[in-house]
Amino acid sequence: MGQANFAYSTAANDAAGLPLALSIFADRAQVQGQMRDDAEAAGFRIVEAGPIADLLEGDARALGEVVLIDCPAPDGAALAALARIDLRSAHSGTQLIVSTSVAALDDVFGCLDQSNAQILVDPSRADRVIALGRVLARLPNLKVRELSEEDRLVLLRLTEQVGQIAQRLERLEGPVSGEGDSAFRFESPKLAFAGADDDPGDRLIRAARPALPDPRLVRRILRQRQLRARFFDGDLFGDPAWDMLLDLTAARVEHTRVSVTSLCIASGVPPTTALRWIGQMTDAGLLQRVDDETDRRRAFIVLTDKAADAMARYFAELGSNAARLV
């Protein structure tokens, strides 16, 4: 794909006065080089580029305002370092972008619970460039206006469309060794759920919530939705938010816990895309992270009471027709 000539540098320089400082930690030389090229093309100033081992030197090390980390197979020491830099970033405002593998996703996700880090799973070069753009949109010194929930979802879909185009161009030019080859699937109708905007105090006088549906029915719906991909292009039906809500609804009734990796698989889209949706749905108050009380390095995703209430009322409204709709 070559260097990504995105028009971010002007905005960053005008708002902040100087290019934003960026640190890179990656063991794979090719990935480290690509990170450097794309960050510089986007207007960042590289202050450090080194191996993951440099992360283990402790909190005394100076960091850029943005930190890119590539850790596809972190060991225990690297995970501990991730947890430390996550906490440090939460206090300092440093923006973290961490790329990893599906195999290490649960461990990495468990370490990053404070800083609102972006997690990329087996990312392509386009994924990393989009993540840098999202960092610029987050930073207060860029004077970006406060976005409404609807604006955030529109922005999410637009960035995913850009990623899809970039991925396809990338494949036309030939795959890059060691990079993911999956394209974004685009995407879903806006999230709108009954009772989502209700005042919490109103719940005291509302009717009792209907029971959640039989999980066997929900699983049948999920299987039916997944079956379509055998006969049609999956891009036609991409709706990760709904698939994740269905999976978590069934799990809540079954009293089972859902890891972030499992939820990404249930979404039917690439993990990096699923993680963005998980972040948006968490911000919207539909999902929440719950730490594993037996292992603080692991975390699970569950429905909030608000989301469970909306799902219960949705299926109650369908009534006996729900089974016939499968």
Residue 187 falls inside a structural domain = no
CA–CA dist 218, 269 (Å, integer): 19
CATH of residue 272's domain is: 1.10.10.10
Q: Indicate whether 220 and 159 sit together in one domain.
A: no
CA–CA dist 158, 11 (Å, integer): 19
pLDDT of residue 289: 95
Range of the domain at 22: 9-165
pLDDT of residue 241: 92
Q: Is 113 helix (H, G, I), strand (E, B) or coil?
A: coil
End-to-end CA distance of the chain: 42
Q: Indicate whether 260 and 130 sit together in one domain.
A: no
Q: Which residues pair with 301 in a beta bridge?
A: 258, 289
Domain boundary among 165, 191, 217: 165
CA–CA dist 34, 44 (Å, integer): 13
Q: Indicate whether 39 and 154 sit together in one domain.
A: yes
Q: Indicate whether 207 and 73 sit together in one domain.
A: no
Q: Is 177 helix (H, G, I), strand (E, B) or coil?
A: coil
Q: Indicate whether 248 and 148 sit together in one domain.
A: no
Q: Indicate whether 118 and 27 sit together in one domain.
A: yes
pLDDT of residue 53: 86
Q: Which residues pair with 186 in a beta bridge?
A: none
CA–CA dist 112, 84 (Å, integer): 9
| CA 262 to chain centroid | 14
CATH of residue 79's domain is: 3.40.50.2300
Contact between 244 and 274 (Cβ < 8 Å): yes
Q: What is the pTM of this model?
A: 0.71
Task: Divide the 326 residues of the chain into consecutive groups of 10 and give the mean pLDDT of each group.
Answer: 39 53 93 91 88 77 88 92 91 93 95 93 90 77 48 55 54 41 38 49 56 87 83 76 94 94 92 92 93 84 94 85 60
pLDDT of residue 6: 38
Residue 192 falls inside a structural domain = no
Q: Indicate whether 155 and 43 sit together in one domain.
A: yes
| The CA-based dihedral angle spanning residues 287, 292, 297, 299, taken in that order and rounded to the nearest 10 degrees | -20
pLDDT of residue 123: 92
- In the chain, the number of structural domains is 2
Residue 126 falls inside a structural domain = yes
pLDDT of residue 252: 95
CA–CA dist 45, 65 (Å, integer): 10
Contact between 98 and 69 (Cβ < 8 Å): yes
Tokens of 87: 């906490």
Taking each helix axis from N to C end, the angle separating 240-254 and 260-267, rounded to the nearest 10 degrees, works out to 130
Residue 191 falls inside a structural domain = no
Residue 288 falls inside a structural domain = yes
* 17: Cβ contacts below 8 Å, ≥ 6 apart: none
DSSP strand E in 155-305: where?
258-259, 287-292, 295-303
Domain boundary among 139, 165, 191: 165
CA–CA dist 113, 19 (Å, integer): 28
Kind plus residue range of the DSSP H or E element containing 106: helix 105-111
Residue 105 falls inside a structural domain = yes
- What's the one-letter identity of residue 231? F
